Each structure stands twice: as C-alpha cells, then as structure tokens.
Amino acid sequence: MNSVNRVGPAGHESAANTVHMTRVPRSSVVTYRDDGVLARGMGVLVAGQLPPLPPAIAGAFVTGVMLFLGVAGADGPAVFAPAVALMLAGPGSSHQHDGRLDWLVPPILRLTEYGFIACVGFAWDVPRFLVLALLGAVLFHHYDVVYRCRQHVYPPAWLASAGLGWEGRMLLIAMGALLGVVTAVFVLAALYLIALFFWESVTCWLAAPRSGVEAADLGGQD
C-alpha cells in the first residue's frame, strides 16, 4: 500500500489529504479483467503459464452457443454457460497479459458477461428496468476502474472480490435461473452492486487530492 501526502508550508504532512492507492498487479490489463475469487483461484493453479486470449475467446464462443441453444428455460444449456466460461477463461487470470493482443481479453470478458446477463434477463421476462439497472451497475464499475487506472488511483484489491467478479455475477444469475428465482436475484444483485460500487467510488474520489498534488505513478503500465 502506498500513499501520497500533501506537505504544508512548514513541511508537515496533512493527514486529511492522504490518499491510499493500490498498486496494479503486473499491468492495468490484469485489473481490467475484474476477476473474482474463483477465477483468481483457478489462475493460481496454472501459475501464469496459460496465455489468456485463446481461453477467453473460447469461453465467449461457447457461452454464445449455449445462449443460442437454450436461454429460455432452466433445463436449457444456457444456465451452465458461466461454469464453462469460468473453466476456460479463469485459468488465464494469473498471466501477465503482456502479449501483443492480450488487451483484447477484458473486452471479451465484458461481452461474455453483459451478453449473458441481458439474454437471461430478457428470456426470463425480468422487468427491463431491472436488467438495465444490473447492467448499469456493472458498466459503471468497469468504467470507474478504467478511469482510475489511467489516473494511477487503483481500486483496492478487495473490491473485485466484494463485487463477485465477472464469473461470480454470471454464476449468481445462473443459480437464480436454476432455482426459478431470476427476478429476485436481479433485484438483490442490482441493489447490492449499485450500493457497493457507488459507495466505494465516491469515498475513493472524495479522498483524492483536490489540487497541488498529482497521483503518483505506481508503476502500472496500460
């Protein structure tokens, strides 16, 4: 954990203007993935030896096929798409993402997650505003993470876990489909994620230096 301190005319540090920033692991691309506990755990098993792009593409493709084949019911294959996507794309989470095209991994994961949430929500007749609310919460979080990384004010490590990660959110929706409580899951997930992401973002930016001090470059590379 690092901090940037404002120093007054007398050389004293102002505690009120201290900003704690979390160093990005290896590169910003890793943070853009938004992996949860399960995906990161699978990445540990391969110790960064699995290139991340091919598995992410495979996960997105299989998810798309499964959604196409049977998104309309709990007996359809679509509800198992998150588990397949996790098994394929999760192990790549520990890679450094330093390949020429590895920057494509986060957008592919976003497409996979957004597409799954939207398809399940609309196929199960979840009220449209609930689908949009959940997607909006996740979109806000991902935009906030990208903006922070560009300002070198990195999100805390616990946020990805608390936010469930891309795979956790998909698995939660799938469980709701299997149990026949999709609408309730959308309501609870939307309320929880909106509160979490908005609160954490606001507290972070309120604590940031307002003037005279630039956020330090902690070594993360875009």
Q: What is the pLDDT of residues 171-209, one digit of tens each?
A: 999 999 889 899 999 999 999 999 999 999 888 877 766
> What's the CA dihedral at 82, 87, 92, 94 to 10 degrees?
100
CB 104 within 8 A of CB 112: no
- Please tell me the total count of domains within the chain: 1
| Domain presence at residue 194 | yes
Give the pLDDT band of residue 40 (cuts 50, 70, 90).
very high
Which CATH number fits the domain that encloses residue 168?
Answer: 1.20.120.1760
Mean pLDDT of 210-217: 41
pLDDT value at residue 75: 56
| Domain presence at residue 114 | yes
| Domain presence at residue 20 | no
Q: pLDDT tens, 70-115?
A: 754 545 678 889 999 999 999 998 888 888 899 999 999 999 999 9
| Domain presence at residue 11 | no
| Domain presence at residue 1 | no
| Domain presence at residue 91 | yes
Structural domain containing residue 95: 25-207
CB 159 within 8 A of CB 204: no
pTM of the model: 0.78
| Domain presence at residue 103 | yes
Comparing 170 with 214, the larger pLDDT belongs to 170
Residue 24 has pLDDT above 70, yes or no: no
Residue 15 has pLDDT above 70, yes or no: no
pLDDT value at residue 219: 38
- DSSP-derived 3-state class of residue 6: strand
| Domain presence at residue 4 | no
Q: List the structure tokens of 7.
A: 């120093």
CB 53 within 8 A of CB 33: no
